[in-house]
Amino acid sequence: MPPGPETSLHNEYVQLLTDKTILVTGAGGYLGTALLASLYSIRCHIVALVHEREFLPAPAETEATVTSRHGDLAATSCWRHLLHETRPDVIVNLAAYEHRRNSHHAPERDLAINAAAVLELLDACKELELKPRIVQASSANLFGCPTSPLVNEDTPDQLLSLYSINKHTAEKYLGHYAENFNIPAVALRFANIYGPLPVRDADLESRVVLNDIMQRALAGGPLYLYRNHACVRDFLYVNDAVRAICAVAVSETITAGDKYIVGSGDGYSLKGIIDEIAKQVAELRWSQVEVLLDTEAVLAPIEWREFIGDYSRLRAATGWEPQVKLEQGIDITLRAFVGGQSQ
């Protein structure tokens, strides 16, 4: 029986960031909000870079100090002034732009945020002779539709979208500047992240697909399956994603310029995941959630992907392993959504 939702989830790496200056881009986003909540537990200085959405403020009892900066990473002058002023020890770049169904198609912004801004960051570090540890958020989507679901860092990439092309380009920039200018930058290729935020924010939480499905199930459904329902995916609990960021930020044995997979190491069919959510909601709410099959929906090639993340290279470099299995994570998340609490 997995631990219940009252179990406290621990971040054993965050204390090693004590007294560091940590610059976080995308600080008002889903993963940025979760990372800041963990950093608030230590004495450090956080520089929170936001664009459109403010970050959630630090609790009164924190020892962390927080400086808020507004900036658009699409502006070429953003990085030099910011780095000269703050001189961070660690930069966690969570800012990203991704075109989603029914959203505005803006390829120039995709390029500017996902690739050009990373190049400008690295070049600003070189010019200012700064060598912060840079942790770049990337995605398992860069593997596309591999021939085998279980992938590692040596699995060939299949770039099936502008987002993946630009994220891949950013990773190449990291490698170039690590090799030629000794800037310790690494990319983390995350599996699908889910889970409740430490400070509840339904809008932010619904921006990740599994949370959105759980919220719809709690609202009575129905839930939908599509023709790709047998495809296998890897889902990563949000606290485990934050732990991985912190582990890489402090590791002395990480390889600069490399990419690392961050996943649970377990694969679940989309049908199995939907059925598990429906089952747990039925047990929690004593009401059935209808699951419907839509065979008419048009699916993009990337939606047929299968992915299970082999995180052994990250484990060897940092000792990191995921703490939360999917069944437990769904349980924690549903109870948080119902009761307004989180981990």
pLDDT of 104: 62
Domains annotated on the chain, with CATH? 14-195+235-264+306-323 (3.40.50.720)
H helices within 182-325, ranges in order? 202-205, 209-218, 238-250, 270-285, 312-318
The percent of residues above 70 in pLDDT, for the chain, comes to 92
pLDDT digit string, tens, across residues 75-89: 767 898 899 999 999
Question: DSSP characters for 230-265?
Answer: T-EE-EEEHHHHHHHHHHHHH-SS--TT-EEEE--S
Alpha-carbon distance of 60 to 79, in angstroms, equals 30
Q: Specify the pLDDT at position 100.
A: 60
What is the band of 101 on the pLDDT scale with cuts at 50, 70, 90?
low
- Amino acid code (one letter) for 56: L
Average pLDDT of the segment spanning 186-201: 93
Q: What mean pLDDT do residues 264-293 have?
A: 93
Confidence label for 69 from pLDDT (cuts 50, 70 and 90): confident
Predicted local distance difference test score (pLDDT) of residue 2: 38
Task: Return the half-sphere exposure (C-beta side, CA atoms, 13 A cut-off) of residue 272.
Answer: 12
Radius of gyration of the chain (CA): 20
Share of the chain above pLDDT 90, in %: 75
For the chain, give the number of residues.
343
Across residues 186-200, what is the average pLDDT? 94
Task: Please return the burial class of 22, using the count of CB atoms within 10 Å of its CB with bins 0-12, 13-18 and 19+.
Answer: buried
Q: Give the pLDDT of residue 52.
A: 66
Instruction: Summarize pLDDT for 295-343 with one digit per residue, the tens.
Output: 999 988 889 999 999 999 999 999 999 999 999 999 999 999 998 555 4
pLDDT tier, 90 (very low <50, low <70, confident <90, very high otherwise): very high
pLDDT at 1: 30
The 10s digit of each residue's pLDDT in 217-236 is 999 989 999 999 999 999 99
Global confidence as pTM: 0.92
Strand 232-233 to 268-269 pairing: antiparallel
